[in-house]
Structures are given as C-alpha cells and as structure tokens.
Chain A
Amino acid sequence: MKSAIKILKEQMQFFYLVRRLSVYELRSLTSGNYLGAAWEIINPAIQILIYWFVFGFGIRQKEPIGDIPYFQWMFAGILVWFFINSSVMKASKSIYSKIRMLSKMNFPMSVIPNYVIFAQFYPHLILIGLAMLILQFLGFPISIYYLQLPLYIVALLVFLFSLSLITSTLTTIAKDVQMFLQSVMRMLFYLSPIIWPPTLLPESFQIWVKLNPFYYIVEGYRYSLLGQGWYFLENPLYTLYFIVITALTLMVGSYLHVKFRSQFIDFL
C-alpha cells in the first residue's frame, strides 16, 4: 500500500517528463522506417482486413453478431487490442532495455514503463479517431455513449501501468518472462471478445473468460463506439471486479518495483 502511494506520487510529479520522453520514444521506434509513424496505422489496418477475411467472410459467412455486422463488431474491439498488446510487450522489457542508458538520471525508475506505454498511446488515440470516422459511414454514427469512452481509456492506462510494474520487474530479473508473456498475450487475444463472441460458449464457461480484465475493456470500447448502452452501469459487479483487480495489480507491482529497483542494474 505504501509503495503504491509512493509510485503514484512519482507518476504525478514527473508527468511532464512522461509526456516529453514518450515523444522521443515514439520517434526512436519509428525512425528507421521510411513511412515512420504511418506504420502504426498501416499494420493494424492489414491485420483487421485479414481477420475480417478469415473469420467474418470465411468462417462466419458474413453472419452478423446479434444485430451488429461482423466487421463493425470486430473493428470496435480489436482496435484497443493493438494498444494493449504493444504496450504490454514493450513496457515489460522497458526497464531491462533502457536501464543502461537511463541509470544515472534525475527521475525515479517507475517513470520508464509509464512513458513507454504513453508512446504507444498516441497512435492509439489516432486509431480511435479514425475508427469513429469510419464507423460514421458504416451505420454507427456518433452517439451519447461516446461519453463513457474516456472512462475505459483511463481505466486501461491505469491497469496497463500497474501490470507493467510487475512484468518489467520480473523481466529484468529473468528474461524468460518476456517469452512467457508473449504466449499469454496470444492466448488472451483468443480468449477476449475480439474476433469471436464468447457468448457462443456454454453459460458456465463464460464467467471464467470474464476473469480476464481485458474482456471488460474490450466490451467497454465496443459499447461506447457502437452505442450499445452504458457498459459500466449495466455491469456494476464486473466494474467493481475490474477496479479491485487493478488495485491489487498496482499494489503487487509497486511492492515488487520498489523492492528491486535499486538492484535492477545488477541483474543485467
């Protein structure tokens, strides 16, 4: 608890730095390509098309999900997954890969995973903007339900940061964690309501799939973008579950991070 408060204070105090550093991080990531940051859009676009082709066009034979056409349904959910996946993976190796460069700096180390996540956040915002634009023409115009979107965005950022405190610490200690995470994320992709609706599962199974906190976020995004209702109000217990999980993750993450951060450099 103590460490969690400490970490949160550090984030607030150095938020200016998080913002500035994330810009350089993004530049560093995209500097080698001719198209630069455009790849942050091109890549998702290609993936969306292939998933739509295989799952929507091929397997489901264009059959809608409930009363939502497959493409729109998948699109509204998958766009947040790109952000989730890249920030989980990049943040987990952030400390390990940057510590040499940053070891002697005037800011706390907990800022590192945070700015790496933020670097992924800008392309995500652009993607959301594009999605809103595209959905206008696909039968899902702007609605009052857009108002809940910032809620899920903030919830997701807090959760990703909390999670990154755990994963970045563990990755620094044992690099195997990165490999393990890769498999877990691949698994979660199929276990989240992204390319197929888990409502197809037997009733008793569905509750287990919902333990995955990303389920909540993906559905939240979908409800906002497609105007399906107020997700967090309609599922108060699930919202509570998400908050509890996030708080727990933050506490465990902060504890681990604070405990090990002075020794990170010795683990290289």
Chain B
Amino acid sequence: MENTVEVKNVYKRYKLYKKKSERLLDLIVPHKEYGEDFFALQDVSFNVEQGSIIGLVGINGSGKSTLANIIAGVIPTTTGEVTIQGNVALIAVNAGLDNSLSGRENIELKLLMLGFSKKEITEMEEEIIEFAELEKFIDQPVKTYSSGMKSRLGFSISVRVNPDILIIDEALSVGDKAFAEKSLEKMMEFKAKGKTMFFVSHSISQMKKFCEQILWLEFGVVKEYGKASEVLKNYESFLKEYQAMTKTQKKKYRTDALNRQSMKTEKML
C-alpha cells in the first residue's frame, strides 16, 4: 500500500526564556542564541499506509498534540520533513470557532474558509446541523454553548468536509456516550472508505477497540511504533511501573527526560 503520511527526522524546538529581555534579544541580535532550547519532538520518523488508523499514546507532555498539529500543518517543524498525500482535518477540543457568531454562521464561515462555494455550503449546512444534534441552539452564539456542544459542532464540520486524513485530538472525550458511539460509527465508515486516521487519546480501551497501530511517544521521542496489541501491552505495563514509582523516582525520571529534551543532538542539522 501507498504511504499517505511520511514523517522524516522531525524536530520541533521551542525556546525557553528566563526573562522577557532574553526573548527580545534573541529576536534582534543576529548570530547569537539566547534562552534555552527545548525539543518537544526529537528525530521523529514514521510512515503511515493509506487506510490505517494510528493511535498516539504517551503520558502528558510527551509531544502527542505537537505531533498532531505538525501533521495537520498547523505548526511548522524546526527541521525534518512531513509529506502528506491528500487534505488533512484536525479536530481538537477548542475547534477554532468564533465565539460571538452563531453555530450556523460558524459552519458557513468554516466551510467558506475551506474553499467551498455558496451552493455547496447551503447543501452541507443542514447535514452538519443534524449530525451535531444542535437543533434550536444552532442560531445561538457559540459562546453560550457547552464544551460538548462545541466539540460536537467542530467534529460534525470536519467530518462532513470529507478529508483524506483525519486527526482527532482528544475531541471525543467531552461528548456524551451516545455521541461518542455515533462518532465512532462515522469513523468506521471512514475506515471502510480507506481513509487514514490519527487518534490522540488517553483512553486505552478506545484505542484497543479502534486502532490498528500505535505510536508511543515519550518526552518527544518515538518509543515504539507497531501493532496496536503489542505496543498497548507494553505501554500499559510501563504505566503500571510509572505509577508504582515513588515521588522522588518519578521526579528523577522526568528530569532525566527533560534534560535529554534540552540537548541538541548530532543528527539535527
């Protein structure tokens, strides 16, 4: 099968500044570095075949969301390459809605920005409203929505625009069970159509049910990438181990990892 997503030696560096003045100096003074480097991702490489469903797991701060955003093209890489065949939709909890506009206006706005014509938008609008189960709330401003309503709206829009690659970043953990079931069904439909999907979640049971492959990130590095059942087993035993650690052990584990993340590696050009 063909690869739809190819991630090659991706690094993402953020700068940590102790003082505001450092940040300013770093911007202005050429050829001199200020502040401390922090690598949210280090040398991440993997290929994804078309139609596979990848779960991204890892403890907090491991770089899952950063990676999801990089694949979606929202944030740029520092070095490395991401090649993608087809268009990507990212669904996150804060789905990028305009709070002072109504749900309907948000749908129109989003579709407009994605390049759909007026006619297409009116066609899609009703379907989206129906799927999002927003009924009479659709003409109320989004700022009055609950977080579940917002993510339902975001999810329904993203699903309707029919992307080739779908990235779901924790977005389903806010909806109720019925909607989660409905969304899973929709994703099964996508799976049958041979679309590629990424799943970021802390729910291992959801992952088990749905993902074929798991990418396990730990502090910005790929720890394991392979068949879901195997990786999830290892991840679960790691979690048990990690939870069993004493406070000081945990702290040491974290600081060691954080130190690794602030070092420049040879491979990075």
Please list the residues of chain A having a beta carbon within 8 angstroms of any beta carbon in chain B.
17, 20-21, 24, 27-29, 31-32, 100-107, 173-174, 262-263, 265-266
Contacts and interface: CB of A to CB of B under 8 A. Distances in A.
A227 to B, nearest CB: 41
B24 interface: yes
Contacts of A266: 14, 75-76
A21 B100 contact: no
Contact of A106 (B76, B108, B109, B113): B113
Contact of B101 (A17, A28, A100, A107): A28
Contacts of A174: 24, 27
A28 B24 CA distance: 34
Contact of B100 (A17, A32, A100, A105): A32
B114 A31 contact: no
Given A31-B102, A100-B94, A174-B24, 18 more contacts: A24-B98, A24-B105, A24-B109, A24-B112, A27-B101, A28-B101, A31-B101, A102-B96, A103-B74, A103-B75, A104-B88, A104-B96, A105-B114, A263-B76, A265-B74, A265-B75, A266-B14, A266-B76
B72 interface: yes
B74 A31 contact: no
Given A173-B27, A263-B76, A265-B75, A28 B100 contact: yes
B115 interface: yes
Interface in B7-61: 14, 24, 27
A31 B143 CA distance: 12
21 contacts: A21-B109, A21-B112, A21-B113, A24-B98, A24-B109, A24-B112, A31-B102, A31-B141, A101-B96, A101-B97, A102-B113, A103-B75, A103-B96, A104-B74, A104-B96, A105-B113, A106-B113, A262-B76, A263-B76, A265-B75, A266-B75
A27 B105 contact: yes
Nearest to A98: B98
Nearest to B99: A28
B247 to A, nearest CB: 33
Most chain B CB within a 10 A radius of its CB, from A17, A28, A107, A263: A28
Contacts, number: 59
B73 interface: yes
B101 A106 contact: no
B38 to A, nearest CB: 12
Interface of B: 14, 24, 27, 72-76, 88-90, 94, 96-98, 100-102, 105, 108-109, 112-115, 141
Nearest to A263: B76
B159 to A, nearest CB: 15
Contacts of A104: 72-74, 88-90, 96
Contacts of A100: 94, 96
Contacts of A107: 113, 115
Contacts of A20: 112
A101 B99 CA distance: 10
Interface centre among B109, B115, B141 (most CB of A within 10 A): B109
A33 B226 CA distance: 54
A29 B99 CA distance: 11
A107 B76 CA distance: 16
Contacts of A27: 101, 105
Contacts of B88: 104
Contacts of B94: 100
A102 B115 CA distance: 13
Contacts of A21: 109, 112-113
